[in-house]
Amino acid sequence: MERLPKVGIPIIIIAILVIIAFAKSAVTIGSGEAGVLYKTFGGGVVTDEPPLGEGFHLIAPWNDVIVYEVRQQELYEQMKVLSSNGLEIKIDASAWFQPVYGDLGRLHQTLGESYLQRVIQPAIRSAARSVVGRYTPEQLYSSKRDVIQDEIYAETKKILDNQFVQLNEVLVRDVTLPKTIKDAIERKLKQEQESLEYEFRLVTAEKEAEKVKIEAQGKAEANRILSASLTDKILQDKGIEATLELAKSPNSKIVVVGSGDDGLPLILGNN
């Protein structure tokens, strides 16, 4: 009976050590994550092998695994930058990014888990300052938002190309100008719109006047041609035709043929 405790204690100790070793050796990688293996006695961070994928893994208890999120992530930035004429512009932008899966070991070795603050934030801020500094507030306010978005993306991507980070998109959500500048630009745009509207009315009026003039010229030309074609003989014939039509009327009348100054019939009524 006295031997049992003496035998049981080592067994218990060994069991505890086995449990601890298993706990240290068992690693579970979650969905959308990957693990970088660190070998304590084998050269440190493993960079020449793919990272550990999702699921359950067993490693040596003296090694370690650093877990990274490898799905697409979003960085939201509010930046104050200067326009080409030195005015302060506020930009709200988002960057969509993710680590390059196959280079996760190199990312951990060179930048570490704080790679977002070390390279991505400085890169997008630098690109935004560079791009916005090429444009005036008027250009940023009116028609250049899509252009600066594409240019910020291109410049940020160029900076991150060798940083083991994949940049998927940059979205410029808002461009805020100082209130005085914004009001001045809006007044200018309103005046330009009113000027365009006035010019449109002038052009419309000129076209309408030209139309009336052409119509009047057409009528005058038609009357000239008609007058030139109306001879005395034609007028007499037309008068006779009209007289005959009137003579058919049931009203009592006297028709005197050839008694007018022009030789046209006269119609005398008794009403």
Q: Are residues 110 and 141 in the same domain?
A: yes
- pLDDT of 251 reads 61
**Which of 52, 69, 86 corresponds to the end of one domain?**
69
Domain that holds residue 254: 233-269
Q: Report the pLDDT value the prediction gives residue 216, as an integer from 0 to 100.
A: 80
Single pTM value for the model: 0.62
pLDDT value for 1: 45
CB of 177 closer than 8 Å to CB of 136: no
Buried b (16+ CB within 10 A) or exposed e, 39-77: eeeeeebbbeeebbeeeeeebeeebbbbbbebeeeebeb
163/100 same-domain check:
yes
Domain boundary among 177, 208, 242: 177
Give yes or no: residues 47 and 105 share one domain. Answer: no
Q: Do 64 and 151 share a structural domain?
A: no
Number of domains within the chain: 4
- If asked whether residues 61 and 99 sit together in one domain, one would say no
86 and 168 in one domain?
Answer: yes
Rounded Cα distance between 84 and 100, Å, is: 35
Instruction: Assess whether 84 and 56 both reside in one domain.
Output: no
CATH code of the domain containing 77? 3.30.479.30
Helix, coil or strand: residue 57: strand
Same domain, 59 and 130: no
Determine the Cα–Cα distance for residues 251 and 271; give it in Å rounded to an integer. 9
Q: Is the domain of 217 the same as that of 166?
A: no
pLDDT in tens for each of the 271 residues of the chain?
Answer: 445 455 566 666 666 656 665 566 788 899 999 999 999 888 899 999 999 999 998 888 888 999 999 999 999 999 998 888 888 889 999 999 999 999 999 999 999 999 999 999 999 999 999 999 998 887 887 667 788 899 999 999 999 988 999 999 999 988 888 777 766 666 766 666 667 666 777 777 778 878 787 878 877 777 777 666 656 666 566 666 666 666 666 665 555 555 455 555 555 555 5
pLDDT value, residue 198: 63
